[in-house]
Structure 1
């Protein structure tokens, strides 16, 4: 493996559409309310991309140090695991991506909330929490990803805080109904993590990484996945029926077959299998398509 290819694999580019889904959904809701700003969309997108890259690199580092990445792992072999990238180089990349996330986040806060110091301070604390969460998933003593808490944090940061926070940065006010589409994106994002953890269930169990699939078992992990996607679609349905006035927003249903295919896949492959690996990309892209179709409908 070449060094360039190793870094591309470590960046996990296929996860970036999922990160953008969060920002786009919050921005499209702002369009619907007449408060959309291009500057917020651009800087929020950059910030979430840097945070996602930071999380991916830190995850590689943490799993390599803990031994969770080993020859028995079902997913793609990682660069640290093969020795193509050193721990020192990965630490430098983590530090750099954290600085970039901090810089873009501060810029986002300044252009959005410079007139309100209290809100700016609150969002600064949220940004620091996001950086810390991205690193602490698998790094440090007792990382929360090894205690089955990764799903909660993904739902929180990709859903409630990501979508709701983006809407607030556009509009300058809070609307509780935004939690419905935020919940949809949050559950779909959690589904991507669940697919990843279900694929790696055996190697995670042997390395002591206690993800939810490890704790609940393979069959229950599939049922949990079904529940996540059903709750996500239910949240969006409630939003469309009760609060969305533009008929074009119902275009989101064109993405439904991708989610159905995803559910079938996790039940079809009973044993941990690399056949689940493409479904991570498919659900990530399906979520982005879901959001983009909503955006097309409200524009």
Structure 2
């Protein structure tokens, strides 16, 4: 049987991958700037994160597809299961394969990071790996899918923010640092902003499909106010991080230049009445998140 590679690449939603890699890249740069070796562990963190994100994208495609949430009234890009490009049965097989791959990468990562470490930290990270797997699958799959109950924002904050930045930093260094927690929170908020844009775009179709996202629960106007805080607070947190580390050089503050595109982005958000116009803004905030991580991280290295 011939495999339609293009359909699987399409279902993987490659445009979401830079966002998922922002946190682990930021933490690696900070760890490296503080004298820690990150090479092999970073490779395994990268592979684990990448496979988990693709697993989550496939699960989202499958869950919304079989429930009928992805339908003709949905504004966003057409999904693979919805369009018939990939059958539900084939997607289930792919989910099983990716789940095993994530588990393999995760266990290798924990071994490489903690092979000479005797404290209970390895057990905690084994639990985190299984929790990540569960969260990736249960966002839209099953009767009790938490994405349908408005809990997606919390999940994104935990996994794209705290686990991605603070968790991977611990894997590199075996240390917990309070200033890194500031950046973990910042990346978490920016990642939540991307989800918030997605949910604002889909507010009508989600409501019709009984998918009660946080946006559906609070309404479009309040979601825009919520978005304002999600996008601006990371710059206050980043400034506090720089201040705590007593950096004086101007390039340590270079991330603040991103406030310029953020200003135009927010101006656009508050003027939107046609829900379709939210879609291009997702890419902008995802790119801003990646640039935020790179600028702050590289500012610590040089």
Q: Find the aligned partners of 1:258 and 1:49 in 2 and give their Cα distance.
A: 27
Single out whichever of 262-271 and 163-172 deviates more from structure 2: 262-271
Q: Find the aligned partners of 2:20 and 2:246 in 1 and give their Cα distance.
A: 24
Q: Find the aligned partners of 1:296 and 1:25 in 2 and give their Cα distance.
A: 8
Q: 1:244 to 1:77 in 2, by over 3 A?
A: farther
Tell me how far 1:286 sits from its aligned partner: 1.3
Alignment map for 1:1-299 (pairs within 5 Å) = 3-117=4-118, 118-243=120-245, 245=247, 247=249, 248-273=251-276, 275-299=277-301
Tell me how far 1:173 sits from its aligned partner: 1.4
Tell me how far 1:253 sits from its aligned partner: 2.1
Q: Is the 8 A contact 2:179 2:244 kept in 1?
A: no
Tell me how far 1:244 sits from its aligned partner: 5.0
Tell me how far 1:4 sits from its aligned partner: 3.1
Q: Find the aligned partners of 1:23 and 1:158 in 2 and give their Cα distance.
A: 9
> Normalized against structure 2, the TM-score is what?
0.94
Q: Is the 8 A contact 2:51 2:98 kept in 1?
A: yes
Q: Find the aligned partners of 1:147 and 1:41 in 2 and give their Cα distance.
A: 34
Q: 1:177 to 1:296 in 2, by over 3 A?
A: closer
Tell me how far 1:135 sits from its aligned partner: 0.4
Q: Find the aligned partners of 1:139 and 1:279 in 2 and give their Cα distance.
A: 27
Q: 1:113 to 1:257 in 2, by over 3 A?
A: same
Partner of 2:275, secondary structure, is coil
Q: 1:145 to 1:244 in 2, by over 3 A?
A: farther
Q: Is the 8 A contact 2:27 2:297 kept in 1?
A: no
Q: Find the aligned partners of 1:174 and 1:246 in 2 and give their Cα distance.
A: 24
Tell me how far 1:105 sits from its aligned partner: 1.1
Q: Find the aligned partners of 2:138 and 2:264 in 1 and give their Cα distance.
A: 32
> Normalized against structure 1, the TM-score is what?
0.95
Q: Find the aligned partners of 1:254 and 1:7 in 2 and give their Cα distance.
A: 37
Q: Is the 8 A contact 1:43 1:104 kept in 2?
A: yes
Q: Find the aligned partners of 1:256 and 1:93 in 2 and give their Cα distance.
A: 40
Gaps of 5+ in 1: none
Q: Is the 8 A contact 1:6 1:78 kept in 2?
A: no
Q: Deviations over 1:43-86 (max 9, x none)?
A: 11111111110100000111012111010001011121111110
Q: Find the aligned partners of 1:244 and 1:259 in 2 and give their Cα distance.
A: 26
User: How many residues were matched structurally?
Assistant: 297
Q: Is the 8 A contact 2:242 2:252 kept in 1?
A: yes
Q: Is the 8 A contact 1:68 1:204 kept in 2?
A: yes
Partner of 1:245, secondary structure, is coil
